[in-house]
A and B are shown apart, each in its own frame.
Chain A
Amino acid sequence: MAPSAPSINSTMSSRMATARPSSYRHKSEKRGMTYNIMLVGQAGLGRRTFLNTLCERAVIASPDAPNPETANVADPMKFDTYEVAMEEEGTRISLTVIDTPGFGDGLDNTSCFKQLQDYIEAQFDEVLVEESRVKRNRRYRDHRIHVLVYFIAPTGHSLRELDIELIRRLGEYVNIIPVIGRADSFTVEELDAFRANVMRDIVYYKLPVYNFCWDETDSEALVENREIMDHIPFSVVTCDEVFDNEYGSVRIRRYPWGTIEIDDEAQCDFALLRYILLNSHIADLINYTEDMLYENYRTKKLEVGGYGENDEEEDDDEEDQALGAAKKQE
């Protein structure tokens, strides 16, 4: 039922045809790759259906009708974790998706950014502690967020204060990929204009969104990555309805004036985004998180002097050894 790989240009299609070996990581075939995606965005932009459409199954069930009483009470932001075992073109992925309902939905949302930052840093801290154990846990599971998909509202203007603050604050801790939720409210011209406005804001405010072209050594990939970056922010339309026609199952949204096919690349970027997130760029996203974002964090933390909570089992000698070893590596 997985849609076929989208074709951007010939080099991209040929790369997609073969399972892409990663020169950086050793994949354990038994366990599958550990991969963590976080979804952030206000209510009503399609996070829940995005997750379900991404995983091709109802990971989050449609919520029950909310009580009228709770309409004016903003739930504080939560972190809901969903674990999905996926297989994409021969690769097994142990995917964890963290949804963040409540972000930006209250009257005063200024505390949301700190909560997100704390959450992401906590995952880094866990790894920091784990790495410096004398006896490491072989079955340790990495919870670092490898990519944050951020949903922008389709206003037609430019970025809002909430959007700018989020990307600005979290860009140094996580790869942020901005997407336009409910992109079916735009005509083609409006979408192009909105994309241009958002990109202008990203440049003007120097917002740290994920740079697909960070690895300049791979020139072949650079060409496709530049093409991919033209689509930022990705237009996303998602739905829960699946329709069977002569070609198989298609995901559609039906309006009185026409029907949109989610997987049609001419109508939205969902198929491309899905391919990027679950196939072509997993290695890049994971590598950038581990080699750059985490390392920067680690350096900052160790320079400040001492990291997080000490494990009670460790005695002072072990801690000194670990710090000494860390310093030698630099």
Chain B
Amino acid sequence: MSAPANDSQDYVGFDTITQQMERKFLKRGFNFNVILVGESGMGKSTLVNSIFSSHLVDSQGRRTAQEVIRKTTEISPVTQTLEENGVRVRLTIIDTPGFGDQCNNEGCWVPVIKYIKDQHAAYLERELKPQRDRVINDTRVHACLYFLNPGSRGLRPLDVEVLKRLTEVTNVIPVIAKSDSMTVEERTVFKRRIKEELVFHRIAVYPYPSEEDGEEDRLLNSSIRDLVPFAVVGSEEIIDVNGTPVRGRRHGWGVINIFDETHSDFVHLRNFMLRTHLSDLIEVTSQRHYEQFRTSQLRQIKELRAQQAAAAASGGIMASMPQQAPPQVPAIHQSMA
């Protein structure tokens, strides 16, 4: 921000763009939207509250006998603004209570996929408006934490069905949230099996390999891919261990410190999501998932126009095409869902 170090007249000074961008960013803040997908009782709320070090979401599990058992998957987004060192993030956590909780779970993923696509559609609609906002409020889902069941020997049928569909519309990060009931050997075996099955079913989880990556990025991404699925333990409690406050869990046979790398992958997950890949998650959502959605939507509109033009030519109906395009976006999307 201050005067450039190099005083010579040949110094142009365009390297200050990073600082200019930072100033703009600080002023504007940014949106970060995360969806949590997994059966109830997998530790979703506790994990997300641990990652962001604040109580963002309440657990939606049924705890009293009088509460009705959910029959479908609900979508419940909660938005909060967090601030750190002047940087503001509008964080939206989307919980999915009811997912995978019924005897018959066929189609329990439909509301989830629909929500994610709806956000893409809403963004597209605003983009296509003749008079559009300078900054479109980004509600697109940037990351999906998918919760695997510890103890299962690999992916379950439900996992395969849902992951296939989720990975097509958003960045999916598989995690095992309550991994404190698995020994280290069990975790290793489980991770290896999951990776094999993901490869076999061609399920592409984030991070995606890219040719643009430099050597450093490639190494980092490959070490992250080794950890997948992240075996983490979440906790909102601070417990006392010999006078030191520790965020963790106290069992009858030992105390877990969630920040201890030998106990869980929590630190790696948090660093990965927030310290190294945060902007990449947002960018990839825009450049990969949103672009795919946009391309297929615009293609459909084009085909529809062609059909209507053909109908107009043969039926003599005057169809006014250009004005209709923006409102049609959600209509087409509905039929796609």
A residues near B (Cβ < 8 Å) are 43-46, 63, 65-66, 68-69, 71-74, 105-110, 153-158, 160-162, 164-165, 181-182, 184-185, 187-188, 197, 200-201, 203-205, 253-261, 266-267
Contacts and interface: CB of A to CB of B under 8 A. Distances in A.
A200 B67 CA distance: 12
Contacts of A154: 41, 178, 181
Q: Describe B's contact surface by its main secondary structure.
A: loop
A105 B156 contact: yes
A261 to B, nearest CB: 8
Nearest to B71: A161
Contacts of B87: none
A107 B152 contact: no
A66 B63 contact: no
Contacts of A184: 180-181, 251
B156 A71 contact: yes
Nearest to B248: A257
Most chain B CB neighbours (cut-off 10 Å) among A71, A108, A260, A261: A71
B249 interface: yes
Q: Describe A's contact surface by its main secondary structure.
A: loop
Contacts of B184: 255-256
Interface string B153-168: 1111111110000000
Given A68-B201, A266-B252, 18 more contacts: A45-B151, A66-B153, A68-B200, A69-B200, A72-B155, A107-B104, A109-B105, A154-B41, A156-B61, A158-B63, A197-B63, A197-B65, A205-B65, A255-B254, A257-B253, A258-B251, A260-B251, A260-B253
A191 B157 CA distance: 29
A66 B200 CA distance: 12
B160 A71 contact: yes
Contacts of B102: 161-162
A71 B155 CA distance: 6
Contacts, number: 151
Given A200-B65, A201-B65, A257-B256, A156 B41 contact: yes
Contact of B61 (A43, A157, A161, A181): A157
B181 A187 contact: no
Interface of B: 39-42, 59, 61-67, 69, 101-106, 149-161, 178, 180-181, 183-184, 193, 196-197, 199-201, 249-257, 260, 262-263
16 contacts: A68-B154, A71-B154, A71-B155, A106-B157, A109-B103, A109-B105, A156-B41, A158-B65, A161-B102, A185-B180, A201-B65, A256-B262, A257-B256, A258-B255, A260-B252, A261-B253
A191 to B, nearest CB: 9
A44 B101 contact: no
A164 B69 CA distance: 10
A227 B196 CA distance: 48
A258 B152 contact: no
Contacts of B69: 160-161, 164
Nearest to A45: B151
Contacts of B193: 65-66, 68
